[in-house]
Amino acid sequence: MNRKKMTEIPAKGEKKICVQLRIDREELREELLKRTTYVAVPMQAEGQNAEDYYDRLLLTADEDIWVGDRLQEAADRVSEVLSGYLAGDGCTFDEQGHCCMTLLLPGAAVPGSADRIARIIKEIFVLYVLSHWFDDRLPEKAQYIVLQYDEAMDLLKARLNRRVRPIERPVRFL
């Protein structure tokens, strides 16, 4: 996950922090394989054919097209939450399948919030793909992952609204 930061871009009188995020598809693939492995290994029953069992539960490079479709869906959902902060084309995918987006955060945002937001977005992508992967394989696990996904979305909204100083709005008396 790469991130560049440029500060003090004026827009409508308020200073903005421009954050360019690039979420690496290879990182996401490794994380998905790691998490499906953590689920699959302890659940294998004795006497089961290990190859068939792992092929059913592990999310490997064989399912790359399926993963790409789920990542696009996750990007659309994240874009809905980030719509007030996205600049340019929003969340786009480059030739290698990496997700690229530019955020304009308020200048009063909490220091370090860009890194936290990037980690949360990556986590949302992983949880969204896992919830759909386990949906017909392990429904109980899928429900738990959906709860984690909802919490991550709420955390993203909270991070976007956190400020160092309160938002000041003009007050007009009649």
Contacts of 121-124 with CB under 8 Å at 24 or more apart are 121/21, 121/23, 121/78, 121/156, 122/1, 122/23, 122/27, 122/28, 122/31, 123/152, 124/74, 124/77, 124/78, 124/149, 124/152, 124/153, 124/156
Regarding pTM above 0.75, the answer is yes
Instruction: For residue 148, name the pLDDT band (cuts at 50, 70, 90).
Output: very high
* Per-residue pLDDT at 15: 83
What are 69-99's pLDDT values in tens digits?
Answer: 999 999 999 999 999 999 988 888 888 888 9
What are 10-25's pLDDT values in tens digits?
Answer: 445 678 888 899 999 9
Instruction: For residue 40, name the pLDDT band (cuts at 50, 70, 90).
Output: confident
